[in-house]
């Protein structure tokens, strides 16, 4: 049987890193089997959907590399409403579902239990469709439902503990449980790989598959993702938006690799592996069902390694969005909250040749691409951004001598270093101490790129101007 998997996000907000992981799991399984990955946007909750979130999903797929051969979609759940209604009718006609006019209040009055499940009151009342009549699925009173789950074995559910659940609302529209199953049937899905949160829905959905006359798919419920306090990753508490990581300059390949390690590892001691190894070795059967810790520090370290491994020309290319845009200004950000903020220099001041000259030096020092801006801004600003704390600590009394020496010296990194060494020695200063005030005066900061190479690129005139400005400022 050809494998068909699907990723079925609801476009109700930013793209959660957990969703990214589910998408990748589905993608790997599709690729491994030469099967198909279907993107289905579950947009039936009109009050919570927004086109910008649909756009966010599509862009996230592209960014993660889910594209090309084996990719199908996006399909929109809302365009299958006719199929949903047909399925609801089929279940009613077969006596597998019945209409119910109970409200929360009447149910509570009868059972005296505010939180209890449905008591089956309308099961045999023979109600037909009507205003405010919900359609409920008639669940079996006995027996068990066994879910075949590639990650969890065979979770088993007692049927008598599953209430007669609603499958269509009073207005006739299908609820998630039914719409999701009908779409999976229509799209001939063979494996449902999704987050653990949906495990409680699964026995109900499996009953629907069977009641509609189809063999249920194989399921796989991948573990929840938690923060360092072992709390489920939440958008109120944690940084969960894939867009935010992208804007900070996490590389898609580092992110993909890291997300796959949540609950799984390749053979041997390896963690950083090319995607081809993931495709060769990943197996849902090897995924650990316990909660997986999303360790941002580890992800950041990973990213640094991925950045350092890039050929320098690619590094230059990958930094480009932070240096030359496209940018999103504060007003536009209000809309989505995402996008790259413009750097502090005027666009015409940016010089790609200057960046290319120092790129290799920056590449070994940053862990996020967005950090590149603070490493190179002093080249493109008239006066450097001033880090007040660094400035307060710097002893600038050395600078007049440096100005004198640097007015004459040959302008190359080696000569600049020798010259500063000599100036420092006259005052008993080691090179590190002598460098500090020069670095602050020229770059505005106490840490950054190697100093002498930076000065060589910045040029004599601009360097001297900054040293003089610092003396005047002191």
Q: Which of 86, 235, 239, 298 is catalytic?
A: 235
> Distance between CA atoms of 307 and 248, rounded to whole angstroms?
13
Q: With CA atoms as reference, report the closest residue to 93 among 213, 7, 206, 273.
A: 213
Note whether 194 binds ligand GLU by CB under 6 A.
yes
Q: Give, to the nearest 10 degrees, the angle between helix 312-324 and helix 372-380.
A: 70
Q: Contacting ligand GLU (CB under 6 A), which of 35, 39, 42, 260? A: 42
Interstrand relation of 218-222 and 191-195 (parallel, antiparallel or unpaired): parallel
Range in contact with ligand GLU (rule: CB under 6 A) among 4-12, 98-106, 353-361, 418-426: 4-12
86 catalytically annotated:
no
Considering only residues 106 to 165 of the shown chain, the ones binding ligand GLU according to CB under 6 A are none
Note whether 227 binds ligand GLU by CB under 6 A.
no
Nearest approach, Cβ of residue 6 and ligand GLU (Å): 7
The tokens describing 292, both together, are 């997986």
Peptide bond into 326 cis (omega under 30): yes
Nearest approach, Cβ of residue 180 and ligand GLU (Å): 5
b (16+ CB within 10 A) / e for 347-361: eeebeeebbeebbeb
Note whether 8 binds ligand GLU by CB under 6 A.
yes
Peptide bond into 289 cis (omega under 30): no
Note whether 446 binds ligand GLU by CB under 6 A.
no
Q: Contacting ligand GLU (CB under 6 A), which of 180, 191, 257, 463? A: 180
Nearer of residues 26 and 435 to ligand GLU, judged by Cβ: 26
Q: What residues contact 420, with CB distance under 8 A and at least 6 apart? A: 402, 405, 431, 434, 435, 438, 452
| DSSP characters over 96-164 | SEEEE---HHHHHHHH--SS-----TTTTS---S-TTPEEEE---SSSEEE--BTTTB--EEEGGGS--
Considering only residues 198 to 217 of the shown chain, the ones binding ligand GLU according to CB under 6 A are 198
Nearest approach, Cβ of residue 170 and ligand GLU (Å): 22
Note whether 10 binds ligand GLU by CB under 6 A.
yes
| DSSP characters over 237-253 | TS--BHHHHHHHT--HH
- Asked whether 99 and 134 are in contact (CB, 8 A), the reply is yes
Nearest approach, Cβ of residue 77 and ligand GLU (Å): 8
Dihedrals φ, ψ of 7, to 5°? -120, 130
Note whether 232 binds ligand GLU by CB under 6 A.
no
Nearest approach, Cβ of residue 31 and ligand GLU (Å): 19
Number of residues in contact with ligand GLU under rule CB under 6 A: 7
Note whether 9 binds ligand GLU by CB under 6 A.
yes
Nearest approach, Cβ of residue 224 and ligand GLU (Å): 13
- How many CB atoms sit inside 10 A of residue 98's CB? 22
Nearest approach, Cβ of residue 198 and ligand GLU (Å): 5
Note whether 18 binds ligand GLU by CB under 6 A.
no
Residue 88: its H or E element: helix 81-93
Note whether 266 binds ligand GLU by CB under 6 A.
no
Range in contact with ligand GLU (rule: CB under 6 A) among 5-13, 80-88, 89-97, 400-408: 5-13
Range in contact with ligand GLU (rule: CB under 6 A) among 6-14, 106-114, 121-129, 255-263: 6-14
Residues marked active site are found at 235
Which parts of this chain interact with ligand GLU (CB under 6 A)? 8-10, 42, 180, 194, 198
């Amino acid at each position: 049987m050809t494998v068909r998997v699907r990723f079925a996000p609801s476009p109700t907000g930013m793209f959660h890193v957990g969703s990214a992981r589910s998408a990748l799991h589905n993608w790997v399984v599709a690729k491994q089997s030469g099967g198909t990955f279907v993107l289905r946007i579950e947009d039936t909750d009109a009050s919570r959907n927004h086109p910008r979130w649909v756009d966010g999903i599509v862009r996230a797929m592209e960014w993660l590399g889910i594209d090309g051969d084996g990719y199908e979609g996006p399909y929109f759940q809302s365009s299958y409403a006719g199929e949903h209604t047909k399925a609801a009718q089929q279940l009613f006609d077969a006596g597998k579902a019945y209409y119910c006019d109970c409200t929360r209040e009447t149910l509570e009055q009868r059972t005296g239990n505010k939180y209890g499940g449905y008591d089956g009151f309308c099961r045999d009342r023979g109600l037909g469709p009507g205003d405010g009549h919900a359609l409920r699925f008639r669940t079996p009173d006995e027996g068990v439902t066994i879910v075949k789950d590639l990650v969890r074995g065979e979770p088993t559910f007692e049927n008598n503990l599953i209430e007669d659940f609603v499958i269509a609302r009073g207005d006739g529209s299908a609820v998630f449980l039914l719409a999701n199953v009908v779409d999976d049937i229509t799209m001939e899905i063979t494996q449902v790989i999704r987050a653990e949160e949906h495990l409680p829905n699964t026995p109900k959905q499996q009953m629907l598959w069977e009641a509609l006359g189809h063999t249920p798919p194989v399921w796989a419920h991948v573990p929840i993702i938690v923060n360092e306090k072992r709390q489920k990753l939440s958008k109120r508490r944690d940084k969960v938006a894939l867009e935010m990581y992208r804007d900070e300059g996490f590389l898609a390949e580092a992110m993909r690799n890291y997300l796959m390690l949540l609950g799984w590892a390749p053979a041997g001691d390896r963690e950083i592996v090319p995607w081809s190894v993931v495709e060769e070795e990943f197996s849902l059967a090897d995924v650990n069902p316990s909660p997986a810790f999303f360790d941002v520090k580890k992800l950041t370290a990973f990213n640094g390694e991925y950045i350092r491994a890039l050929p320098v020309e690619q590094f230059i290319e990958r930094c480009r969005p932070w240096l030359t845009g496209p940018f999103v200004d504060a007003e536009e950000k209000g809309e989505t909250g995402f996008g790259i903020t413009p750097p502090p220099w005027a666009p015409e001041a940016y010089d790609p040749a200057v960046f290319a000259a120092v790129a290799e030096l920056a590449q070994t020092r940053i862990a996020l691409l967005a950090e590149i801006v603070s490493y190179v801004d002093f080249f493109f600003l008239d006066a450097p951004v001033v880090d007040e704390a660094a400035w307060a600590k710097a002893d600038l009394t050395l600078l007049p001598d440096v100005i004198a020496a640097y007015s004459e010296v040959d302008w190359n990194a080696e000569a600049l270093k020798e010259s500063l060494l000599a100036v420092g020695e006259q005052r008993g200063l080691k090179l590190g101490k002598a460098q500090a005030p020069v670095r602050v005066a020229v770059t505005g900061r106490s840490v950054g790129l190697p100093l002498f190479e930076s000065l060589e690129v910045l040029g004599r005139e601009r360097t001297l101007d900054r040293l003089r400005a610092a003396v005047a400022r002191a």
